[in-house]
Amino acid sequence: MSVVDFLRPEGWLGESGGPRYVQLRQRLESGIESGVLAPNSSLPPEREIAEITELSRVTVRKAIQELVREGLIEQRQGSGSFIRERMNRMEQSLSHLTSFTEDMARRGLDTSSRWLERGVFLPTPDEVQALGLADGAEVARIYRLREAGGRPMALERASLPLDILPNPLEVTTSLYEVLGRREVRPVRAVQKISAINLEPREADLLNVPEGAAGLSIERTSYLPSGRVAELTRSLYRGDAYDFVAELRL
């Protein structure tokens, strides 16, 4: 069914259905739900919706504004309103030390990485401190955009001491798998999670609007000896993840 036919007022707009902007909002919601209004497609301009539905532009605007607030529609300056692609939020347990590849495989999703940086570098003071690097030691660093099921999920920058990961190019899919093979896979980690707004470049890579909410996660992982094996700073899309922690008395 075309969007125009879908919006014709016959059958859904009536005296008894409550405020008209609510009826229109519900109609648009059901269009998004059923896919008549497809993700990333543009919504007809207000003026056109007003004509098709025979509602006033004020009413149309009010309905659209509610959908913007609900996050179903995104207004892009100069180019109108678009149906936002909806993410099924994922629940991620905070009690298991698993890798991104393993987490996604458990959900039946394939992962891929877009490499932003991978190699041996001079460490930053933060890396020296967190990884306990000796004077003059270099650091292995891998920075990638992590995708699952073809969608960008997180930006992840991992830093490791060179004796733990001498050749960062060896990591083609899973870092933890490479560490496992080398028998230096971490067994414990501490994570710090904070809320952030994504900077323009990060938002662009993650395919969300500039300033969108994100989660910044810093993971420090340890070997059985207590030595730090990895410092990873990740930025997760705020609309994609729920982190869940189980608490016991």
Candidate list 59, 81, 159, 232; residue touching ligand 16G; CB under 6 A: 232
Candidate list 176, 229, 237, 238; residue touching ligand 16G; CB under 6 A: 176
* Residue 116 bridge partners (DSSP): none
Stretch binding ligand 16G (CB under 6 A), from 7-15, 37-45, 159-167, 175-183: 175-183
Distance of CA 22 to the CA centre of its chain: 30
SS3 assignment, position 136 = coil
Contact flag: residue 147 with ligand 16G (CB under 6 A): no
Name residues contacting ligand 16G, limited to 88-117 (CB under 6 A).
99-101
Min separation Cβ 140 and ligand 16G, Å: 12
Nearer to ligand 16G, 48 or 103 (CB): 103
The rounded distance, in Å, linking the Cα atoms of 132 and 204 is: 33
Nearer to ligand 16G, 189 or 212 (CB): 189
- DSSP label of 37: S
Q: Which helix (H) or strand (E) holds 53?
A: helix 46-53
Min separation Cβ 147 and ligand 16G, Å: 11
User: Strand (E) positions, 94-212?
Assistant: 111-121, 139-148, 151-161, 188-197
Q: Which residues have a Cβ under 8 Å from the Cβ of 190 and sit 6 or more positions away?
A: 219, 220
Min separation Cβ 92 and ligand 16G, Å: 7
The rounded distance, in Å, linking the Cα atoms of 102 and 233 is: 18
The rounded distance, in Å, linking the Cα atoms of 168 and 184 is: 14
For tokens 């993840």, name the residue: 241
Closest CA to 72 of 59, 82, 60: 82
Nearer to ligand 16G, 43 or 228 (CB): 228
Stretch binding ligand 16G (CB under 6 A), from 17-25, 124-132, 168-176, 196-204: 168-176
Candidate list 24, 83, 158, 228; residue touching ligand 16G; CB under 6 A: 158
Nearer to ligand 16G, 28 or 217 (CB): 217
Candidate list 42, 174, 207, 216; residue touching ligand 16G; CB under 6 A: 174
* Residue 211 bridge partners (DSSP): none
Contact flag: residue 21 with ligand 16G (CB under 6 A): no
Residue type at position 37: L
Contact flag: residue 156 with ligand 16G (CB under 6 A): yes
Q: Which residues are near ligand 16G by CB under 6 A?
A: 99-101, 156, 158, 174-177, 217, 219, 230, 232, 234
